[in-house]
Chains A and B, each alone.
Chain A
Amino acid sequence: MKRSMTLLGISLVLATCWSSPTVRAFCGFYVAKADAKLFNRASQVVLVRHDNKTVITMANDFQGDPTEFAVVIPVPTFIERGQIHVTNKALIDHLDAFTAPRLVEYFDQDPCMRHTLMERAMPLAAQAPGVAGRRSRAKALGVSIEASYTVGEYDIVILSAEQSDGLTTWLTENGYRIPPGASRVLASYIRQNVRFFVAKVNLEEQSRLGFNYLRPIQVAFESPKFMLPIRLGTLNANGPQDLLLYALTQNGRVETTNYRTVKLPSGMDLPVFVKQEFGDFYKAMFTEQVRKENMRSVFLEYAWDMSWCDPCAADPLSATELRELGVFWLDGGRGRAVKRGAQNTFVTRLHLRYDGEHFPEDLVFQETADRTNFQGRYVLRHAYEGALSCERGGMYRQELATRHEREAQTLASITGWDIRDIRRKMDLSGKPPESGSWWERLWKKN
């Protein structure tokens, strides 16, 4: 089993453009998040980027025998030992939780009282969520082993090659299973003068370190290329796969320059039963949006200054965590308590479902000056369930029926779910709501 992904970077250095965050009171309460665990075959990558400097962190969901694990990652420069690091998976889980789409709840108040809305705190709903010989053989194949390191539980070699056939042969002889078609893609990378970062698990080290899962690998390098190689990864995939990409930058939101980046639908009112199946909702909505965009777009799920959130699906990452992820400009932050608003880090979460047909070339990014906040946020409004003892109560019931129907239609539209099922789950009995128009009320049969 092999995976591949990568990095590279551009340099559009824009002067920092500060704009005050949009002050928009999200006064609901966060109740659930939909995190990356929902998706099978999901890779997670963190890209920290500023001034041609990139730190990439790659987490994988590899579940099998560690001897089967290997990655071949095109990298734009030679990588020294000190540029490689192995980190804690919990960091990425925290970043995933912080940026995940979220649900908020509101409770209607008695319409016969003067105030119209009241909020009530809800508890978080649990979402289940022999080196010398090797070198001479390599040389004969036109492959140069530029360095080999053991970092954490990984054995890593940095390769350059003259011919893709030689590289393919070397990888095969060294126990890497290369998918069909890889040689052609490797040839393209070789012509672009990239190196290959090849990692596999060192079982002795893994056993000594005591980890029973594979920790994320980090690589730091300098290059004008701001990109993520995805082509090798499409070769051995069974069908489309998901990638969650978290970009941490100084100036603002990150977007792809060679594919459309579109915002995930957000901010709408949904039927309250979605609370019980938020994970299914998120998966269905994402799948439906991918279909509507013909699987050719990258989706923006979160864009926010790292120093705050509203509502918070998880606490913002501390300066220590951010530095561990590679945010190198937080020089003074090590070990200190983080002041709100002082982190100078903007996080963008991009989500894409891709295969070789719809995403033929690697992802290329640019950092924009956009600091507008965006989050996947869905609203549940609970109806008032007490007795209604005034004339306004009748109007409230009418409005409620219209509102429920609107919520059902919204949910059907963004998830592709059957509206009859939605109405049944909402207990709307499949009947359209009573219209508010006067002529329908005029001849209404009781």
Chain B
Amino acid sequence: MQRQRDPRIYQIATLAALVAYGASRLDLEILLAPAAVIVATALATQFLCTKLFSLPRFDPRSALISSLSLCLLLRTDSMSLVVGTTVIAIASKFFLRIDGRHVFNPTNFGLVAVMASVGGIWVSPGQWGTGAFFALLLAGIGGLVIHRASRSDVTYAFIGFYAALVVGRTLWLGDPLAIPLHHLQNGAFLLFAFFMISDPKTTPDSRAGRILFALMVALGAGFVHFVLFEPNGFLWSLVLFAPTTPIINRLLPGERYQWCRRRPAMRLSQRSYA
């Protein structure tokens, strides 16, 4: 049978390119030493957990995706917090599980857990500015078109709901449309839409479920931004609503996502840690 290409390879290449672009063109302060520590820690944690949970083989791909996402988002002056955040991110896939699969997007959980507890790390949502808009849009849409057409609904739905929210707020306030456009062109928003909420392992299985999930995350992010006046509303909202995925899956069941699927059928592992 023809084996479908693993979308994670595209994602690794795209994220690596974004890391290089951010470091060289956008002053994202992605330094070599912390980046190397993130990647090494992520792979080591994945390896140790693979042994601990007696999995058949060590798969570095998801750990690489998480570590590249952390390179893009995690900022701290402390190397021990770099290690701590990365360990929490990867370990969350193995320890925080419902119905045989992990609950949180690892990068999202690692960042929020450390920000909410010990602090000392931060995410700079403004640093992408609006100049990276087209680069991110192309990278994101490219990934969806090539690999994840069947699961891209959550990204489109999220963009649609959040856009409706900020445009609606603007119309209600009587502000110029330049303001919501400024919000929607922000690189951090696109990065979240294309590379975080789109994680097929932590979003509901059915299309209706994913659209409902996107609506909740968009409303939650709006609440954080416009009612609590806190930054990084996307990250907080996704962590808050990720535990609803098992409930949504029961109410609106669908086919569970596999990274690589053979057609017409393949043996599906019930324990996916990727």
Q: Which residues of A contact B178 (CB under 8 A)?
A: 357, 360
Contact B27 A263 (CB under 8 A): yes
Contact A17 B173 (CB under 8 A): no
Residue of B121, B131, B176 near A369 (CB, 8 A) is B121
Residue of A13, A188, A225, A256 near B126 (CB, 8 A) is A256
Contact A296 to B129, CB < 8 A, known contacts A368-B122, A370-B77: yes
Q: How many B residues touch the partner, as a band?
A: 35 or more
Contact A297 B129 (CB under 8 A): yes
Contact B119 A366 (CB under 8 A): no
Residues of A within 8 Å of B, CB-based: how many? 45
Q: Smallest CB-CB separation from B172: which chain A residue?
A: A191
Distance between B28 CB and nearest chain A CB, rounded to angstroms: 10
Residue of B122, B125, B127, B183 near A370 (CB, 8 A) is B122
Q: Which residues of B contact A257 (CB under 8 A)?
A: 124-126, 231-232
Task: Determine chain A's interface SS by DSSP, over half rule.
Answer: loop
Task: Determine chain B's interface SS by DSSP, over half rule.
Answer: loop
Contact A14 to B115, CB < 8 A, known contacts A188-B175, A191-B173: yes
Distance between B254 CB and nearest chain A CB, rounded to angstroms: 36
Produce 1/0 per residue, B104-123, CB < 8 A to A.
00000000000101111110
Q: Smallest CB-CB separation from B178: which chain A residue?
A: A360
Contact A8 B120 (CB under 8 A): no
Report how far A184 CA is from B130 CA in the complex, Å.
25
Decide yes or no whether B230 CB sits under 8 A from chain A: yes
Report how far A398 CA is from B150 CA in the complex, Å.
65
Distance between B84 CB and nearest chain A CB, rounded to angstroms: 12
Contact A360 to B179, CB < 8 A, known contacts A11-B229, A15-B118, A19-B78: yes
Contact A17 B174 (CB under 8 A): no
Q: Which residues of B contact A187 (CB under 8 A)?
A: 173-174
Decide yes or no whether B182 CB sits under 8 A from chain A: yes
Contact A8 to B174, CB < 8 A, known contacts A258-B182, A296-B130, A369-B122: no
Q: Smallest CB-CB separation from A16: which chain B residue?
A: B119
Contact A369 B76 (CB under 8 A): yes
Q: Smallest CB-CB separation from A52: which chain B residue?
A: B229
Report how far A229 CA is from B5 CA in the complex, Å.
50
Decide yes or no whether A401 CB sits under 8 A from chain B: no
Decide yes or no whether A78 CB sits under 8 A from chain B: no
Contact B124 A259 (CB under 8 A): no
Contact A259 B129 (CB under 8 A): yes
Residue of A227, A260, A364, A369 near B120 (CB, 8 A) is A369
Residue of A261, A361, A372 near B127 (CB, 8 A) is A261
Q: Smallest CB-CB separation from A251: which chain B residue?
A: B119
Decide yes or no whether B186 CB sits under 8 A from chain A: yes
Contact A191 B174 (CB under 8 A): yes
Report how far A357 CA is from B119 CA in the complex, Å.
36
Contact A19 B128 (CB under 8 A): no
Contact A10 to B174, CB < 8 A, known contacts A15-B118, A259-B129: no
Contact A364 to B231, CB < 8 A, known contacts A17-B78, A19-B77, A372-B77: yes
Contact A10 to B27, CB < 8 A, known contacts A360-B178, A368-B122, A369-B121: no
Produce 1/0 per residue, B176-218, CB < 8 A to A.
1011001100100000000000000000000000000000000
13 inter-chain pairs at a CB distance below 8 angstroms, sorted by A residue, are A10-B229, A10-B230, A12-B122, A19-B78, A191-B172, A224-B229, A252-B77, A259-B129, A260-B127, A260-B131, A361-B175, A369-B77, A369-B120
User: Given A14-B119, A17-B81, 11 more contacts at CB 8 Å?
Assistant: A10-B230, A11-B229, A14-B122, A188-B174, A191-B174, A192-B173, A258-B126, A259-B129, A296-B129, A360-B178, A370-B122
